[in-house]
Structure 1
Amino acid sequence: MEVDSIDCMSSSDVMDEEAVTLLHHHPSSKPHGGGAAVPPGISPAATSVHELLECPVCTNSMYPPIHQCRNGHTLCSACKTRVHNRCPTCRQELGDIRCLALEKVAESLELPCKYSSLGCPEIFPYYSKLKHEAQCNFRPYNCPYAGSECSVVGDIPFLVTHLRDDHKVDMHSGCTFNHRYVKSNPREVENATWMLTVFHCFGQYFCLHFEAFQLGMAPVYMAFLRFMGDENEARNFSYSLEVGANGRKLIWEGTPRSIRDSHRKVRDSHDGLIIQRNMALFFSGGERKELKLRVTGRIWKEQQNPESGVCIPNLCN
C-alpha cells in the first residue's frame, strides 16, 4: 500500500572447546561467574549458592530437573540435550542422574528480581522468582514496530528514540489524528503492516497501526492503537477511530492495548476497526478502482468523578 499523504492534527571448572562454543552462541550468554552485583541485604552465602545454580552452558538459573554427571558437574535440562548428553566440563556421559541436593538447597534461597538494576525492589523465594520475572513491571519492553522482526528491547524513552531514528516512524504531539490511505490497486491484497505514527499525548506514547490482511477468504483493512506502557496503565485511556463517506460511517471505540501484547496478538484478536474491502471501496467513491480511506480519531483519558464515582472523559485540547 502506498501512503499518498498523511495529515496529522494534532525492546567452576574450565569447559571444553565445544561447550564454550555453545555458550558464545546462546542468545542470553554472559561470562560464567560474572553475575550482577549483590544488592544490599543479600548474604554472600546465598550469592555463592546462587552461582552454583547457574548453568555453565547457558548461564541461566537452573530449575528442576537439575542434571549432573558422575563427577558432580551440573547443568540445566534444556542444555542436557544441547550438549548431546555429555558433560560440558569433563565430557563424561550424563545419563539420568538428578542433583536432588542442589534442588533442595534452592528451596531455602531468597533472591532479588533480575530486574533489580532497573528498579524492581522485590525479593522472592528461588522457585517463585521466575514466575514473577515473567510479569515484572520493570522488565524491558520489546520494540513495538510492526512489519519486521526487531529484537531491540528497552524502556519507553529508549524505544521512542529507537522508533524515530532507526525505523523512521513519524512522531506527533496531540490527541487527535487524521490519516489518508491510498492504494492504486486494492484488488491486490497481501499481508502488509505499517506503523504510521507515534503520538505523544497526556505525557504518554501511543502507536497507531494500519494494515491489510486476509481474514479467512475476505481481504480486510484494520486500524488499531497500542499503548507504550503496561496494561494497567493502558486501561486509563480510551480512543475512537472513524471512517466513512457518502453519508455512511463506521466508528470504533475501545481501550488501547499495551505493547506487552505483540502486534500479531492484537491483530489476530481483531481488537480494532476492521473494514472489509468492498466497504472500503464504497467509502472511496468513484468506480471503486482505487482505495482512498480517511481515518480520523482521538485519544482521551478516563478520570474518576470524586462525587459520583463515575469515569468521565478528559479530552485533550
Structure 2
Amino acid sequence: MAPGGRTCKEILESYSSFGDYDIAANAEIKIASLSIKPTIMSGGKVGMSSTNGVYELLECPVCTSSMYPPIHQCPNGHTLCSNCKVRVQNRCPTCRFELGNIRCLALEKVAESLELQCKYQSLGCHDIFPYYSKLKHEQHCQFRPYNCPYAGSECSVTGDIQELVGHLKDDHKVDMHDGSTFNHRYVKSNPQEVENATWMLTVFKCYGRQFCLHFEAFQMGTAPVYMAFLRFMGDEDEAKKFSYSLEVGANGRKLTWQGVPRSIRDSHRKIRDSQDGLIIQRNLALFFSGTDGKELKLRVTGRIWKEE
C-alpha cells in the first residue's frame, strides 16, 4: 500500500507543476503573439516604435485603463487589473473562470522593461518615461489640457488656453475685458435665495495672459455668503508671478482682500471650499446694498498686477 500511495502523490505533484507551466505558457504565448518592434534604448530598456501592440497588451478589458502590478490572470491566461478583479466578483470577464490569486508576472516584467512617450506628445511633451512612471508624469504634465473653468454648469470641455478662451466666449457667453483694473456691480432682486451656483464669470486679459473673476453665492455651513476670487488661466508657477486685490463697501465701511490668483488647474470647488478669496456675509452684503434687505446691490472693484 505504501509504494502505491507514494506513486499517486508523485503523479499529483507532477500534474500540479504541469498546470502551473500551462498558465505561464499561456501568458508567454499571448505576449509573443503581438507584433511589437522593440528598439534598444539607453540602459538596456526597450522602447516601442509603435505603441499599438503594447497598449493592447497592457489594457484592462474591463475598465480599458493601463494595468499596473498586481496584474491578475485567470487559468486561461486572460488578464485584468487589480481594481476590476473586485468589480467582476473574482470571475474572469472573458471566460467566466474563477480568477483566484494568479499574478501575470510575465506581463508585469514586460511593462517594467518598456519606455514610452507621454500621451501628450502631440501637445508638446517629448519626454520618454519608464512604463511605471509614465502615469504619474501624465497626471502632472505641463502639456496636459486644461479643464474649462466655467463653474455654472458641468462642462467637460478641455483644451489649451486659447481654445478655452474661445469656448468661454462662444459657448458660455462670458464677458471679456482688457485691462488690469475692474469695477463690477452685482444685482440680485431676491437676496434671500442663495443657491450653489455661479453668478458671474468674467475673463480679463492683461500682461498678455487671461484671468477669471468669479463672483457667487453659496452656503457656508448654514450661513449664506457671497465670494469673489480670481483664477489664472495657466499653471501654478506662472500664477505666482501675479497678485490681485478686491474691495467692496458702502456707507463708510469697506472690506478688502489681497492674494495670489489660483491656477485653473485647481478646481473651482477646491478654491471656494478653501475660502481663498473675498468673503462677504449676507447681512453685511445687504448693509452695503442700502436697500433694507429687499435687493442686493454690490460693487466690487479690483486690480491685477505683476510681481517684479
Pick the TM interval, shorter chain. 0.7 to 0.9
Equivalent residues, number:
268
How far the C-alpha of 1:93 sits from its partner, in A, is 3.0
Displacement after TM superposition at 1:96 (Å)? 2.4
Q: CA-to-partner distance for each residue in 1:61-80, whole Å, 9 max, x for gaps? A: 11011111111121222333
Q: What's the counterpart of residue 95 of structure 2?
A: 90
Counterpart of 2:107 in structure 1 is 102
Of 220, 224, 229 in structure 1, the residue corresponding to residue 229 of structure 2 is 224
| Mapped partners of 2:60, 2:194: distance in 1 | 48
**AA of the residue aligned to 2:118:** C
Q: 2:141 aligns with which of 132, 136, 141?
A: 136
The farther-off stretch of 89-98 and 215-224 is 89-98
SS in 1 for 2:283: helix
Q: RCO (CA 8 Å, sep 6+): is it higher in 1 or 2?
A: 1
Which residue matches 2:165?
A: 160
SS in 1 for 2:60: coil
Larger radius of gyration: 2
Q: For residue 106 of structure 2, what is the amino acid of its counterpart?
A: A
Aligned to 1:213: 218
Shift of residue 195, structure 1, vs aligned partner: 3.4
Please tell me whether the aligned partners of residues 151 and 197 of structure 2 are also in contact (alpha carbons under 8 angstroms).
Answer: no
- Residues 27-176 of structure 1 aligned to structure 2 (within 5 Å): 42-44=47-49, 48-176=53-181
Structure 2 alignment gaps of length 5 or more: 1-33, 42-46
SS at match of 1:292: strand
2:174 maps to amino acid: V
Partner of 2:271: 266
TM-score using structure 1 length: 0.78
TM-aligned CA distance change 1:133 to 1:45, over 3 Å: closer
Give, in whole Å, the separation in 2 of the partners of 1:206 and 1:88.
48
- Aligned-partner SS, 2:136: helix
The equivalent of 1:197 in structure 2 is 202
Q: How many angstroms does 1:45 deviate by?
A: 8.5
Name the structure 2 match of 1:250.
255
Q: Give the fraction of aligned pairs with identical amino acids, expressed as a percent.
A: 80
Distance 2:129 2:205 in 1: 36
Distance 1:183 1:45, change over 3 A: closer
With over 3 angstroms needed to count, the CA separation of the structure-2 counterparts of 1:145 and 1:286, relative to structure 1, is closer
CA contact (8 A) 1:146 1:195 kept: no
- C-alpha change, 1:294 and 1:111, in structure 2 (3 Å) is same
SS at match of 1:62: coil
DSSP-derived class of the 1:90 partner: coil
Paired letter, 1:77: S
State how far apart, in whole Å, the 2-side matches of 1:136 and 1:151 are.
19
- The counterpart of 2:302, out of the listed 297, 300, 308, is 297
Contact 1:106 1:127 in 2 (8 A): yes
Alpha-carbon RMSD: 2.4
Match of 2:134, as an amino acid?
K
The CA deviation at 1:272 is: 0.3
Is the 8 Å Cα contact of residues 48 and 115 (structure 2) preserved in structure 1? Answer: no
Q: Distance in 1 between matches of 2:178 and 2:288?
A: 28
Give the CA deviation at 1:172: 1.4
TM-score (norm 2): 0.80
Deviation of residue 82 (structure 1)? Answer: 4.1
Q: 2:241 aligns with which of 224, 231, 236?
A: 236
Alpha-carbon distance, 1:57 to partner: 3.5
